[in-house]
Structure 1
Amino acid sequence: MFEHDPTDPHEVGLNADRLAAVPAFFAENYLDTGKLPCMATLISRNGEIALEDYRGTTEFSGSTPIGPETIFRIYSMTKPITSLAAMMLFEEGKLRLDHDVARYIPEFADVEVFDSGSREDYKTRKPDRPMKVLDLFTHTSGLTYGFMMQSEVDALYRKEKIGRPDETLQEMAKRLAKLPLECSPGDEWWYSHSTDVLGAIVEIVSGMELDQFFRERITGPLGMDDTDFWVPEDKIDRLMACYERHPITGEVTQSDGAGRASKAYSKRPKLLNGGGGLVSTVRDYHRFCLMLLRGGTLDDARIISPKTWEFMRQNHLPGGQTIRDMGRSLFSEVITGGTGFGLGGSVVTDVVDTQQPGSEGTFSWGGLASTFFWIDPEEEIIGIQMTQLMPSSTYPMRPQFQQLAYSAIDW
């Protein structure tokens, strides 16, 4: 869904030449050099699209160009949507941030913290306090991800095959509760399955599976018709391929095929991954961001209140710390300096410490296959970038995107 063609950049205080330099930079440095198969770019200001650009193809050496209809795996850009779903239930009084997670998933009442040993033989201790719902929003729950390759706990996740496709979201959450935590809740920031557990709570509290909740309460009302956990038959040809770059050899291989060659998205999955399972388009995700920028409303749809959105984009890390201050995780989707964490995404707390232009209160996050968004309420700017290369830390595309975009501001 797209109401009109991009507006004249000058009408929203942006320099047309500098704005045009944004996609040109990525074409010259990433597409022409063979590092990426494509790049989609969207920048809006004051709710008006000033730049929408699609370059490259759906596969390396392919002939099908990407465009507004191209469907991307957005992975962790699912997290803000799941977090929003939980805050909608919060607004209805059906959950609180200070509630114990065990109130909704009793298995978490007995969760312990890894103390010593190896994944084969280890000792645990009791946490200093129970895991709270807030900890799930902010990744301070003590949970982690198996792909970290950083600790004995993430090795246990791999051993136990956390995230396997033959179980439901609630089943996965219950299995997570049987494994030790990296730390006591609230002590450290670990990028993690926290949002998956939050998604399980959304299902439990609402009585709906997560995809149904999204369609009925968020993506449906917002007209995000191409955003879901799978791609139906009549749209599957629009799904582009996904690639992965080996961290040592640098070799790039295809991790999932385009269209009907996709092994992961051609049918509804059993595991509705609330932390990273959605696919979407640039235009769909812009509607989500625009709803937030406008205080929870888009067209005739009221999703949340403006005060709830304002609350979500505050830094909720303990004592006003940044991700860098309390982060033990080696992986983050954003710069960790000068950046705290809100309810579902990162929040800029100190522009100077981020080492690039921007605004305090900017809310952002990205996905594993190099998708990214940010919402700057002060400048009323939304930026969205999509391609399909894992991991997202391969190239410094996100800070480059932002520094180029902010250089286009005239007034």
Structure 2
Amino acid sequence: MIQDIMKAKMMLFLGFGLFLSICGAEKAVSQEKIVNEEAVQRLDSTLQSFVETNAVGGTSALVFEDGEEVYFNAFGDADRNDKTPMKRNTIVQIYSMTKPVTGVALMQLYEQGAFELDDPVADYLSEFADLKVYEGEDEDGNPILVEPKRPLTIRDLTRHTSGFANDTNTPYVGALLEEAAPLHHSNTLADFAEKLGSLPLVFHPGEEWYYGPSVDVQAYLVERLSGQPFDKYLREHILDPLGMNETRYYVPEEDRGRMASTFYGGEDGSLTQIPDNEQHAFNINEVPLTPGGWGLTSTLDDYMTFTQMLVNEGSLNGVQILKPETVELMATNHLSDEVTERLWLPSKGQVGFGIDFAVRLRPPASAEENHGKVGEFFWDGAASTLFWVDPANELTAVFFVQKFPFDGRLHKDFRDAVYGKYVPEN
């Protein structure tokens, strides 16, 4: 079985590399930019419309193509109450766009031979040695807890097939999750792992794609394997080498004036600014928790630096963060067709999932789907932020807003502004 997996991975690598070579050659011949003058006009018009229609309080975007900036603009307010405009150096809460940063940290240790993706998590983290799976109730109303069909692996953590609970409304396990509160700000990553490891899984590892705290477990794994606190590992091995000085958990007082406020969009079209002391609490107080799945703040230029490292196959400005083959592995689909239960992942389009990224496998099936190029890998954040890496066109994009609930319509319109309306191939 292991040999079959290795062969499959090799075929994926060869196919991915061939695809990028062909696309790169096609672009080199045409010399036509994706983000031309027409695209710039579309982008300005689209972002401005988000503000004018009250869909967002403020928005900004940055796009690079062939290693050069081809678009930047910002519209609206970062803080409506104080009339603070959205700017290039505005600091936003990126939420789940933290996950790919954690994935890069983990894969640095993979390159060093610290683990294999199909190793059981319990080989490294004893907190997950005695997991059980909840399978309903017996005739007397008692929970049925069984042994997992196979061990939880590190690959399960990276592709969201672990089975960890993430919804306090889930039968039986939800109440336990609410009581344990593993991701409470007062917990360390070790506390988090101990509490999460005591809870039953909601399905057997590998059987479903289910978004949850898997990447927070990755952060704890980085901490244990490296012997460093997770936030210090990120700073020393990724953020400082890349010059990402404004990507951090804790925002010092002197920089808080640049933090964007968050807005709540009502079903009636209203937009309400959420009080900063409530929404910024995690990032303006020094707390023990340093989650891998969320929690970082960043700026457009800082996060663009991260995407440029990825599109350059792991290196930027003479600094190597990952090997090219490792970036390729992360950007390769790891979800088999047998994993049919995928929660809301299909809403992202024709995608699979790699290592902490969604991976585009096919062109959009219709103009109603999110636009994008095959081979693209990307992710977004709870406050409706978005980034993607388009290797075929050497294009990277970062889109910032701060809006709840998550608004995928903004992403659809922004993507269409970058690439133009999708036209099906004949």
Measured against the shorter chain, the TM-score band is: 0.7 to 0.9
* Cα RMSD for the two superposed structures: 2.4
List gaps (5 residues or longer) in structure 2.
1-30
Is 1:86–1:202's contact at 8 Å kept on the other side of the alignment?
yes
TM-fit CA distance, 1:150: 5.3
CA deviation map 1:193-245 (0-9, x unaligned): 00000110000000111110111000100011100111012212111112334
Answering whether residue 44 of structure 2 is matched by residue 23 of structure 1, we say yes
Aligned residue identity for 1:123? I
1:9-48 matches, within 5 Å, as: 12-28=33-49, 30-48=50-68
Confirm or deny: 8 A CA contact 2:46 2:413 kept in the other structure: no
Q: Tell me the equivalent position of 1:6.
A: none
From 298, 305, 311, the counterpart of 1:280: 298
Matched ranges for 1:85-96 at <5 A = 85-96=105-116
Aligned match of 2:73: 53
1:88 CA drift (Å): 0.1
Post-superposition offset of 1:96 = 1.4
Instruction: Could you tell me which runs of 5 or more consecutive residues in structure 1 were left unpaired when the two chains were aligned.
Output: 1-9
1:397 pairs with one of 393, 404, 410? 410
| Residue in 2 that maps onto 1:350 | 362
Once residues 13 and 254 of structure 1 are traced to their aligned partners in structure 2, the CA distance between those partners, rounded to angstroms, is 35
Task: Classify the secondary structure of the residue corresponding to 1:385.
Answer: strand
CA 1:251–1:165 in 2, change beyond 3 Å: closer, same or farther?
farther
* CA displacement 1:59-85 (0-9 Å, x = unmatched): 234411111211000000000000110
Report the CA distance between 1:389 and its aligned residue.
0.9
Per the alignment, residue 77 of structure 1 pairs with 97
**Residues of 1 paired with 2:382 and 2:209: CA distance?**
18
Structure 2 residue matching 1:365: 3-state secondary structure: strand
Amino acid at match of 2:41: A
Aligned amino acid, residue 279 of structure 1 = T
Q: How far did residue 261 of structure 1 move?
A: 8.8
Moved more, 249-258 or 43-52: 249-258
Instruction: Indicate the larger mover: 41-50 or 290-299.
Output: 41-50
Q: Secondary structure at the match of 2:69?
A: strand
Could you tell me which residue of structure 2 aligns to residue 257 of structure 1?
276
State the match for 2:390 in structure 1: 376
C-alpha contact (below 8 Å) 1:12/1:48 kept by paired residues: no
> 1: distance between equivalents of 2:280 and 2:164?
30
Match of 2:375, SS?
Answer: coil
For 1:152 and 1:26, how far apart are their aligned partners in 2? 44
- Using the size of structure 2 for normalisation, the TM-score is 0.85
Match of 2:255 among 235, 256, 271: 235
The structure number with the bigger radius of gyration is 2
Shift of residue 262 of structure 1? Answer: 3.7
**Alpha-carbon distance in 1 for matches of 2:37, 2:171:** 48
Contact 2:375–2:391, Cα closer than 8 Å, also in 1: yes
* Residue in 1 that maps onto 2:335: 317
Identity of aligned residues (%): 32
Counterpart secondary structure, 1:176: helix
Residues 165-191 of structure 1 deviation map (CA, whole Å, 9 limit, x = unaligned): 111112112211111111100000000
How far off is 1:252 after superposition? 4.6
Partner of 1:144: 165
The residue type paired with residue 370 of structure 1 is: S
Match of 1:90, SS state, is: helix
Secondary structure in 2 aligned to 1:235?
A: helix
Q: Residue 160 of structure 1 is aligned with which of 180, 190, 193? A: 180
1:126 aligns with 2:126: no
Contact 2:57 2:263 in 1 (8 A): no
Question: Are 2:215 and 1:195 equivalent residues in the alignment?
Answer: yes
Report deviation, 1:390.
1.6
SS in structure 2 at match of 1:146: coil
Counterpart in the other structure of 2:341: 326
Aligned in 2, Cα 1:213/1:101: closer, same or farther, shift over 3 Å?
same
Q: Deviations over 1:337-378 (max 9, x none)?
A: 421000111001121347354222110000001110010101
Give the match for residue 14 of structure 2.
Answer: none
CA contact (8 A) 2:55 2:265 kept: no
Residue-by-residue CA offset, 1:115-170 (whole Å, 9 max, x unaligned): 1149x9532111110100000000000113236x4554344322322311111112
Is the 8 Å Cα contact of residues 47 and 75 (structure 2) preserved in structure 1? no
Please give the alpha-carbon distance, in whole angstroms, between the structure 1 residues aligned to 2:289 and 2:311: 30
| Deviations, residues 95-116 of structure 1 (Å, cap 9, x unaligned) | 2111111111112111111111
Q: Distance in 2 between matches of 1:395 and 1:96?
A: 35
Query: Is the contact between residue 80 and residue 273 of structure 2 (CA under 8 Å) also seen in structure 1?
Result: no
Q: Note closer, same or farther for the CA distance 1:154–1:336 as it changes in structure 2 (3 Å cut).
A: farther
- Separation in 1 of the partners of 2:306 and 2:281? 27
Structure 1 residue matching 2:192: 3-state secondary structure: helix
2:419 aligned with 1:406: yes
CA drift at 1:11: 7.8
The structure-2 alpha-carbon separation of the partners of 1:186 and 1:305, relative to structure 1 and needing over 3 Å to count, comes to: same
Q: State the alpha-carbon separation in 2 of the partners of residues 236 and 15 from structure 1.
A: 35
Query: Relative to structure 1, is the Cα distance of residues 80 and 240 closer, same or farther in structure 2, using a 3 angstrom cutoff?
Result: same
Question: Under a length normalisation based on structure 1, what TM-score does the superposition of the two structures give?
Answer: 0.88
Q: What residue in structure 2 maps to residue 297 of structure 1?
A: 315
Match of 1:66 among 81, 86, 89: 86
Larger relative helix fraction = 2
Aligned to 2:6: none
Q: What amino acid does structure 2 have at the position aligned with 1:280? A: S
